[in-house]
Structures are given as C-alpha cells and as structure tokens.
Amino acid sequence: MFKRILIANRGEIACRIIKTARRMGIETVAVYSDADKDALHVEMADSAIAIGPPPAAESYLVIDKIVAACKQAKAEAVHPGYGFLSEREAFAEALKNAGIVFIGPNAKAIAAMGDKIESKKAAAAAKVSTVPGHMGIIADEKEAVKIADDIGYPIMIKASAGGGGKGMRIAYSKSEVAEGFARAKSEAKSSFGDDRVFIEKFITDPRHIEIQVLGDKHGNVIYLGERECSIQRRNQKVIEEAPSPLLDETTRKKMGEQAVALAKAVGYDSAGTVEFVAGQDKSFYFLEMNTRLQVEHPVTELVTGIDLVEQMIRVAAGEKLSIRQSDVKLNGWAVESRIYAEDPYRNFLPSTGRLTVYRPPAERVEDGVTVRNDTGVYEGGEISLFYDPMIAKLVTHAPTRQQAIDAQADALDAFAIDGIRHNIPFLAALMAHPRWRAGKLSTGFIAEEFKEGFKGIPPQGEAGDILAAVAAAIDHVQGERKRRISGQINGRGWSREKDRVVTLGNSVRRLAVEREQDAISIQFEGKKVRALSQWKAGDLVWSGTVGDHAIAVQVRPVPNGFDLAYRGVQTRAYVYTEREAAYAALMPERKLADTGKQVRCPMPGLVVSLAVKEGQDVKAGEAVAVVEAMKMENVLRAEIDGTVKKIYAKKGDSLAVDAVILEFV
C-alpha cells in the first residue's frame, strides 16, 4: 500500500479523498493555487505545495506542475478527483513516465472512452444498447418510413449538417415521417446547403441513469447498482439518488451487465461510470462513460456500504477486488443535493464572497437515518470566482425513498449559510414537490415545473401555519426575555396580551399565544398547537416541534421582525398586538428608487469587456458589457434606448452584486 499520495484537486473532493486516505493510514499532499492558500483541503492534508496563480489553466490544469509537486513531496501516487485533469490521457501518461501511480483507469481506457464517437462504437461492439438509428443516406420518403417502422416510434429526423433545431422533426406515425422527411430536407438545404438527413429513435421524457462500475488490474469488473440523475438544470445535475425509482431488478441487471461488458471491452481498471439515457418504459441506451469518480458517488457508497475512494486506491496499488458481484446488495435509499453558491431568485446567477455563516446540520447515523455532508469550505472562508460554485453535497440515507427525502428536507432546513446567496431554498422546494416525491422524473423536470424560473413558495397551507406558530413562539420568548432585564423600574403589575396578529409577507393570521410550562401554546382558528424548542435569541435555527411536526426553521433578525425559511418558503414575519397591527397597516410602503437608467452587475464578478463608450447611443437589447464568475460569462444588455452618460467600471474590475456599471442619460 502507498505511504503517501498527492491529491491533484481542490474543494470538497480533495477533502473527501483525504478522509479515506487518513483512515487507511496514508499521508496526503495537497496542491493549491494562490486563491486557495487558506482552503480547507490545504488545512486537512499532511502537507501542501503551491502550484501557481488562481486561474485553473495556470495551476490545477498544468500537468508539469503537478508532476513536479509529486517529485518534491515524494508522493508515490496521485488521485485526480473529478474535473481538472481526471480524464486527461496525457496526465495519466505523464505520471506513468515519471514512475508515479495514477489512481484511476489506465490511459488506454481513458482514451477509448474520451472520444464520444469511438466510445459509441466500442459500446455497440460490446453489445451495449445504443440509440437505434440509420446513419446512412436516405433516398426518399418510402425508405424513411421503412426505416422508422424498423426503429419504432417516435423517431427523430435530423439534418446531417444541422444545428440550432433547423432540419429537425419528431414523428410519431408513418404519415408524420413522410411529411417530416420532406420538411427536414428542405430546411436542411436552405439552412446549411446540405439536404442529407438521418433518423434515430426519439426518447420521450428521457431520464438520466448511470451505472457505477469498479474494476481491478486482474480483469475483474463488477457493478454497484445505479444512480438517477434526472433532476438537472442546463445539463448540470442538481439532485441525485440511488437506486432509481424507475428500475426493477431485471432492468438493473441488464444495465449493470452491459456496463460491465463495456468496461471489460476497454480493459477498465478503476471506479468509473457508464451513463445511459432511459425511456419511461425502462428502455435504455448508452450515452457515455466517465472514466473517473463521479461527483454523486456518495449515494452509491451509502446504499452499498462500499467506500469507492478506498477501492480506487487499493486497485491502483495492485490489489484484487475483495468484493464479488454477489456481495453487492442495495440497502435503503440515498438522496444527494448539490448546494451551490448561486442565487435561485436571479436565474441562478453565481454568488461569491465570504461565508460569514456556514453551519451544516450535524453528520449522524441515528434511528436508521444517515446525514452526511461532503464539503470543502468553512465559516469565514471565501467562495472564489475562479472555480466551481459548489459549497457542499448534502446526502441522506434511510430505509425508504420517502424517508430519505424527508430526512433531506429536514437537513436542508437546518443548514445555515450567510454571506453569499445559495440554492438551499430551491432544493428545499424541490423536496416538497409532488412530482419529485412521486418519482415521476425526466431531464426536463426543472424546465417543465419552473417555466418562469424560481420565485419561491408563498407561506400558505401547513407550511404557513408552522411559520406563523414559530414566529409567535419566537416573539413570545423574546418578550419574556425583555421582562427579565435587570434594573427595570418597579411599577404596575405586567401582564401579556394573548391575542397576536402575525404577518408573513402578504398573508395575515390571528392567533392566541400563551406560555404552557416548557412550551408555547398557539391557538389558531379552529386548532391549537404547542411549540416546543430550546431556541434562544441569537440562534440561527429554531429547532423543535410544532404539534406533531419535528422541524427546523431558519431565523434571521430584521428591525421589528425576522426573516424565516422553511421547506423552500422564505418570508419576513412580524408579530403584532391587535393595536400595533392596526397602526402598521397605515404605514406607507417605502418604494425602491427607479434604476431603469442604470446597468447593474447581477452578481459578484469580473468585468471581461465593455462594448460601449460614454456618449454612445444604445438601443434596448444591445450588449453593453460581459461579466464573468465561476466559469460562466454573462452578457449584460441595455433594457432601454439611451445615451451612455457615465461608465463606472473598467475591464478587469471585480464588482459586487448590484454595483452600477454604467448610467444612461
């Protein structure tokens, strides 16, 4: 076994690898860019080596720097994590030439699966299901219909030189094939000057399901079940789970055996993932193979009890797999949420800055429920604009899918983050979504269910009642605390009015509130509940019970009230007496200043370029600037016609959210 390994990565995956290496008694060496000198993975590793400036292209992606760091640290092996150099054939070769072991598959397997066309050829040769289609030239409508009949409906007719949806038609019947073929050829000719089209099977409401494989250097390969990763936004996975609610044992076995066949065909010898696109009818077709550890590997670890990082290290050291296929049993259900530094209320724009608060729920194994949090950050640390916006991966495991989802919802509610915007409200809303809970998933889920983007959930129904009860309980506890302040002048006896008016956003609830021993009694219209908690002023999370519900609610003080968050509902709460409520209703609302003549930065970022000058006339919709954050460039456009009066930023400036970039006359 290795004595010392280097981790050619950063963030949560570097920390994750260090944990397993430490348990195995292996020393770890971290590498870091200038932006990461105070990062958690640097703190956790036994030693660390600086490798260059913040941009990944000048540090984490420079093969020579990683190899030099290995030699400096006398590391025997390198774990690449995911991303960066993890699927670079050249990196594996460079390490081999330097006499350093790559903790991953051999370079030939990486190359074979790295080319998408070649990988599909390899998959077809290994008898892996590929999307049925006819790639040859189609002579006429009659041949098109015959091909479509052979493939099975629905089918997609695509322009060979196509793109942007031009020359593309979906057909559900023979008559639609004939018409679609003519239209697709005509569009292809006019758009691309090339009327060739091909036909392939169209997968309706596709799902993204992947099989985890594990091979060694002695020809043994097994599969460790599947993960469903259909909840995606802009092709980026958001929530993953294992197993899939779609598959049965028969389909799982078929997919697993095909994944193993492909892995054996290319001599695969590490942890890897074979990705499939699946139909709602359980049909499935090869998509690609990722020759590395996946981001979502924890859900597989929790349902199988197998540490994938440990297995990768053991395999790289030449050990045979100690697990046979018959040893692999799927136990319970696991759900993972990716917590990103992004603003769900602003179309998920990246958010950077300092984590003034970072307090995840406690990791635990209790009453059949596991809560795990893989992270690479800490309270007081910085979310940099140079790297991926992931803050953490929150994973829950329980005996059933519904229990795992409920545990995930509870854990998200208890996760306190301040200083930057984050997607926890969106994730919490997803956990409560009826379609998600029913397992009726597809890769179009988020686009279909949140057509207008995420606007939050109003404080209605049961969630609204719970928030009103928590608001009333907090107000009561704070009132009691004020009465205990020392040095108050003695006067008439004090008694508290029971009647309260709670406003949550635009909704109003009238309650009766009083102390009942260790709990707060809250009388709604027609029902009574007890709120029990150890919450005290300054706590960021109200944990306790409201009636029969064990809950966690985020609490942040604001003047005369507090902001609450629970199950994807974010609202501002005020608790009044009846008289205070009457006066509050008369208070004028403060209106925001008109900023229509300004272009503001929608997120913290770096000014890449400015497309206008002072005095220039600009039309609405015209690009005025490009701002970059976390590998994402955003083109900012004018919302009105006007003349540029003043430009406040220049190329290379780092801007805060809502910073004014320019102003129109």
Residues 222 and 253 in one domain: yes
What's the pLDDT tens digit per position in 211-242?
Answer: 999 999 999 999 999 999 999 998 789 999 99
**Catalytic site includes residue 89:** no
Residues 346 and 435 in one domain: yes
Please give the DSSP secondary-structure letter assigned to residue 410: H
Contacts of 505 (CB under 8 A, 6+ apart): 458, 459, 571, 572
Compute CA 147 distance to the chain's CA centroid, rounded to the nearest angstrom.
40
What's the pLDDT tens digit per position in 473-501?
Answer: 999 999 988 887 888 777 766 677 899 99
Residues 209 and 299 in one domain: yes
Q: What is the pLDDT of residue 306?
A: 98
Residues 325 and 356 in one domain: no
Residues 59 and 32 in one domain: yes
Phi, psi (deg, nearest 5) at residue 76? -85, -20
Q: What is the pLDDT of residue 195?
A: 85
Return the CATH number at 166: 3.30.1490.20
Determine contact, residues 321/214, Cβ cutoff 8 Å: yes
Strand partners, 213: 223, 272
Number of H helices, E strands in the chain: 17, 40
Residues 251 and 275 in one domain: yes
Q: What is the percent of the chain where pLDDT is above 70? A: 97
135 pLDDT tier (thresholds 50, 70, 90) = low
Phi, psi (deg, nearest 5) at residue 162? -75, 175
Residues 478 and 579 in one domain: yes
What's the pLDDT tens digit per position in 361-395?
Answer: 999 999 999 999 999 999 999 998 888 889 999 99
Contacts of 127 (CB under 8 A, 6+ apart): 258, 261
Residues 533 and 428 in one domain: no
Return the CATH number at 527: 3.30.700.30
Number of domains forming the structure of the chain = 6
Q: Which domain holds residue 562?
A: 461-482+496-584
User: ∠118-123-129 over CA atoms, to 5°?
Assistant: 135
Is 651 exposed, middle or buried, given 0-12, 13-18 or 19+ CB atoms closer than 10 A?
A: exposed
Last residue of a domain, one of 310, 331, 352: 331
Average pLDDT over residues 107-114: 92
Last residue of a domain, one of 331, 352, 370: 331
Phi, psi (deg, nearest 5) at residue 94? -60, -40
Residue 109 forms part of a structural domain? no
What's the pLDDT tens digit per position in 495-553?
Answer: 778 999 999 998 999 999 999 999 999 998 878 999 999 999 999 999 999 999 999 99
Residues 86 and 29 in one domain: yes
Determine contact, residues 222/325, Cβ cutoff 8 Å: yes
Determine contact, residues 319/285, Cβ cutoff 8 Å: no
Q: How far apart are CA 560 and CA 583, in angstroms?
A: 14
Residue 490 forms part of a structural domain? no
Residue 122 forms part of a structural domain? no
Dihedral in degrees, nearest 10, Cα atoms 604, 607, 610, 613: 80
Determine contact, residues 8/85, Cβ cutoff 8 Å: yes
Residue 119 forms part of a structural domain? no
Average pLDDT over residues 82-111: 96
Residue 633 forms part of a structural domain? yes
Give me the residue label for tokens 């208890």: 414
Residue 404 forms part of a structural domain? yes
Residues in the chain: 665
Last residue of a domain, one of 331, 365, 396: 331
| Helix%, strand%, coil% for the chain, nearest 5 | 30, 35, 40
Read off the tokens for 325.
């296929």
Determine contact, residues 210/263, Cβ cutoff 8 Å: no
3-state class (DSSP) for residue 30? strand
Phi, psi (deg, nearest 5) at residue 625? -160, 160
End-to-end C-alpha distance for the chain, whole angstroms = 69
Residues 361 and 473 in one domain: no
Determine contact, residues 309/227, Cβ cutoff 8 Å: no
Q: How far apart are CA 85 and CA 73, in angstroms?
A: 19
Q: How far apart are CA 294 and CA 336, in angstroms?
A: 13
Read off the tokens for 139.
């002579």
Return the CATH number at 300: 3.30.470.20
Read off the tokens for 353.
């800055």
Phi, psi (deg, nearest 5) at residue 437? -65, -30
Is 516 exposed, middle or buried, given 0-12, 13-18 or 19+ CB atoms closer than 10 A?
A: exposed
Residue 114 forms part of a structural domain? no
Residues 570 and 466 in one domain: yes
Return the CATH number at 39: 3.40.50.20
What is the dihedral sign for C-alpha 109, 111, 116, 119?
negative
Phi, psi (deg, nearest 5) at residue 465? -65, -45
Q: How far apart are CA 594 and CA 597, in angstroms?
A: 8
Active-site residue among 288, 580, 628, 639? 288
E strand intervals along 108-164: 133-134, 155-163
Return the CATH number at 628: 2.40.50.100
> Which residue type does 115 have?
D
User: ∠529-531-532 over CA atoms, to 5°?
Assistant: 140
For the cut 60, the answer to whether the pLDDT of residue 164 exceeds it is: no
- Which pTM does this prediction carry? 0.85
Residues 436 and 504 in one domain: no
Q: What is the percent of the chain where pLDDT is above 90? A: 73
Determine contact, residues 634/625, Cβ cutoff 8 Å: no
Residue 519 forms part of a structural domain? yes
